[in-house]
């Protein structure tokens, strides 16, 4: 179980590798390796691409991506579930060009109608009384804002998060994150404790109704044993994304919300990956659990690739944060224009229904692959957020990060882009544009099936 390093791409020393590739060899260096070598000269090493021979993207449209060598790929990962209505959507392009020519920047010191309109459009789809928004530039900042809001409102400090979570790359959010590889390797965040991930497939009491009792008991025990009994909030992703699309049991969030509220804390839900129709039928993942959070966190798909983070809460909770505070780029006019255009297209296309329909088609195809290959332990997810957990065998359920790494490479060979996750890098993650068509899903399944064939045996 200590193969956590398999999460990272295999290239040992890209700069040395590509340098030695050039020396005394007539073989031209691949564009991917060459770019990686140059990137290594100028960017931090953590800016690390997927694949042994990294993909250098040059253009994209819808779910189709081209690299600098003019190879075409069907994109099932959408820049980590972010180009929610497809790459370079014409409506977003037009809105951005128009806005950029008129007013490109203001800061939060001045009012723009565009920011108010964007917040209003969110309030129309968020559950219940969640209507007051704070715009920032990333999921990380949106999580930070949610935690600050909860602490200011409750006057308390402690946060109960979940193991296997991913919350961002700042000092606080990397320590709310509970996967070793993604945490900054120093200290920890003060006042953050972690309950068990509600992971039915790996529950010690099986995945039936009793597993919910098990996870809720653990949540209570963590509060009772590792906090002062006065937590500010319980913080959870609706579906744990980087962890490999872990879907909590059907009654988990209702019960978890009851628990945290019984201790006087708030319930914060992170919809950075699961939001905006991705899980099908509803706008937000948490609506499947029929419980209203106190604060919601959004980013990624909200503006089809423009940097927007949003923290949404009830007015009386937002009142607790009087400032002063600024976000120089928060609510930037161009980002807001991209967001409004994205939301308009999502409304017009009814993406929750589309994600349900195409997600059902996708799931059917993935389930058939699970039936065919014994190394597929579980297929899980909702709508167009589907994960394939790889194991060495179904009896021991030992995570198989090695095969997942090979499968990631094989999908690229087949002209398909997917993602990878799980504590051991052993889960393949699929999360395409919500406007993906029936034919494109069929084509993607064909390519994914061919990639599975390559790594079988």
Ligand X SMILES: Cc1ncc(COP(=O)(O)O)c(C=O)c1O
Rank residues 125 and 162 by Cβ distance to ligand X and give the closer one. 162
Task: Output the smallest distance, CB 161 to ligand X, in A.
Answer: 11
Side by side, which strands form the sheet with 192-195?
132-136, 309-313, 295-298, 266-270, 233-237, 159-162, 192-195
Residues 62-91 that bind ligand X (CB under 6 A): 80
Instruction: Give least dist CB 342 to ligand X, A.
Output: 15
**Which residue is associated with the tokens 């195809």?**
365
At closest approach, how far in Å is the CB of 95 from ligand X?
21
Q: Which x/- pattern over 214-253 shows residues binding ligand X (rule: CB under 6 A)?
A: -----------------------x---xx-----------
* Nearer of residues 310 and 445 to ligand X, judged by Cβ: 310
Task: Work out the burial of residue 438: count CB atoms within 10 Å of its CB; fewer than 13 is exposed, 13-18 middle, 19 or more buried.
Answer: exposed
Q: Minimum Å distance from CB 18 to ligand X?
A: 28
Burial of 365 (0-12, 13-18, 19+ CB in 10 A): middle
Residue closer to ligand X by CB (options 430, 441) is 430
Please tell me the distance from the alpha carbon of residue 408 to that of residue 191, in angstroms, as a whole number.
Answer: 37
**Cβ-closest residue to ligand X?**
139
Instruction: Tell me which stretch binds ligand X (CB under 6 A): 161-169, 332-340, 394-402, 420-428.
Output: 161-169
Q: In this complex, which beta carbon is closest to ligand X, that of residue 299 or of residue 445?
A: 299
Among 373, 232, 301, 313, CA closest to 82: 301
* Binding flag, residue 140, ligand X (CB under 6 A): yes
Nearest-CA neighbor of 245 among 84, 421, 2? 421
Calculate the CA 348 to chain-centre distance.
Answer: 24
Residue closer to ligand X, measured from CB, 85 or 308: 308
Residue 356 in contact with residue 350, Cβ under 8 Å? no
Question: In the complex, what is the shortest distance from the CB of residue 266 to ligand X, in angstroms, rounded to a whole number?
Answer: 17
Q: How far is the CB of 301 from ligand X (least distance, A)?
A: 11
Backbone torsions φ then ψ of 399, nearest 5 degrees: -60, 135
Interacting span for ligand X (CB under 6 A) from 138-146, 154-162, 313-321, 388-396: 138-146
How distant, in Å, are the alpha carbons of 136, 295, 404, 408 from that of 142? Answer: 6, 11, 31, 30
Q: In 3D, which of 29, 74, 30, 77 has the Cα closest to residue 56? A: 30
- State in Å, rounded, how far the first CA of the chain is from the last one: 21
Residue 132 makes contact with ligand X by CB under 6 A: no
User: 16: how many CB neighbours lie within 10 A of its CB?
Assistant: 12
Quick one: 96 or 143, whose CB is closer to ligand X? 143
| Footprint on residues 287-326 left by ligand X (CB under 6 A) | 299
- What is the dihedral sign for C-alpha 406, 409, 413, 417? positive
CB of 361 to ligand X, least distance (A): 25
Query: Least Å distance between CB 207 and ligand X?
Result: 23
Residue span 268-287 as binding mask against ligand X, x where in contact by CB under 6 A, dash where not? --x-xx--------------
Q: Which segment (136-144, 201-209, 351-359, 423-431) binds ligand X by CB under 6 A?
A: 136-144
Task: Work out whether 143 is an interface residue with ligand X (CB under 6 A).
Answer: yes
**Closest approach of Cβ 286 to ligand X, in Å?**
13
Residue 162 in the binding site for ligand X (CB under 6 A): no
Query: How far apart, in whole angstroms, are the C-alpha atoms of residue 31 and residue 33?
Result: 6
Token pair listed for 379: 């297929």
Which DSSP state fits 399?
Answer: B
One residue of 167, 212, 311, 411 binding ligand X per CB under 6 A: 167
Task: Please state the closest distance from residue 271 (CB atom) to ligand X, in A.
Answer: 8
- Residues at the interface with ligand X (CB under 6 A): 80, 138-140, 143, 166-168, 237, 241-242, 270, 272-273, 299
């Amino acid at each position: 179980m200590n193969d956590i390093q398999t999460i990272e791409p295999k290239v040992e020393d890209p700069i040395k590798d590509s340098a030695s590739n050039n020396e005394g060899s007539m073989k031209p260096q691949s564009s991917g390796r060459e770019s990686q070598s140059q990137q290594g000269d100028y960017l931090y090493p953590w800016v690390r691409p997927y694949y042994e021979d990294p993909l250098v993207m040059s253009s994209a449209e819808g779910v189709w991506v081209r690299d600098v060598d003019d190879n075409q790929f069907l994109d099932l990962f959408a820049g980590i579930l972010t180009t929610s209505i497809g790459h370079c959507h014409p409506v977003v392009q037009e809105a951005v060009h128009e806005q950029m020519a008129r007013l490109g920047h203001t800061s939060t010191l001045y009012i723009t109608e565009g920011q108010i309109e964007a917040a209003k459009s969110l309030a129309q789809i968020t559950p219940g009384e969640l209507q007051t928004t704070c715009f920032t530039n990333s999921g990380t900042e949106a999580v930070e804002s949610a935690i600050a809001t909860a602490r200011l409102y409750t006057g308390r400090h402690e946060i109960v998060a979940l193991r296997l979570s991913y919350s961002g790359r700042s000092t606080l959010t990397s320590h709310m994150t509970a996967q070793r590889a993604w945490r900054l390797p120093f200290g920890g965040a003060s006042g953050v404790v972690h309950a068990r991930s509600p992971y039915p497939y790996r529950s010690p009491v099986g995945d039936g109704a009793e597993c919910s009792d098990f996870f809720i008991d653990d949540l209570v025990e963590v509060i009772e044993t590792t906090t002062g009994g006065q937590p500010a909030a319980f913080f959870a992703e609706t579906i744990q994304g980087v962890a490999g699309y872990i879907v909590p049991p059907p009654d988990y969030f209702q019960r978890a919300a009851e628990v945290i509220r019984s201790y006087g804390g708030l319930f914060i839900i992170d919809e950075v990956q699961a939001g905006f129709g991705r899980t099908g039928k509803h706008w937000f993942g948490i609506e499947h659990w029929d419980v209203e959070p106190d604060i919601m966190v959004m980013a990624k798909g909200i503006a089809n690739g423009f940097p927007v983070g949003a923290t949404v809460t009830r007015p009386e909770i937002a009142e607790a944060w009087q400032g002063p505070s600024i976000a120089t780029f928060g609510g930037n006019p161009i980002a807001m224009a991209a967001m409004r255009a994205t939301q308009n297209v999502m409304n017009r296309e009814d993406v929750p229904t589309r994600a349900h329909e195409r997600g059902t088609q996708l799931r059917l195809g993935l389930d058939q692959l699970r039936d065919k290959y014994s190394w597929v332990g579980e297929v899980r997810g909702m709508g167009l957020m589907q994960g394939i957990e790889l194991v060495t065998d179904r009896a021991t359920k030992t995570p198989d990060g090695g095969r997942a790494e090979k499968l990631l490479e094989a999908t690229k060979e087949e002209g398909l882009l997917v993602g990878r996750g799980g504590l051991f890098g052993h889960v393949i993650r699929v999360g395409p544009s919500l406007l993906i068509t029936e034919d494109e899903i069929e084509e993607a399944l064909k390519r994914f099936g061919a990639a599975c064939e390559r790594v079988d045996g």
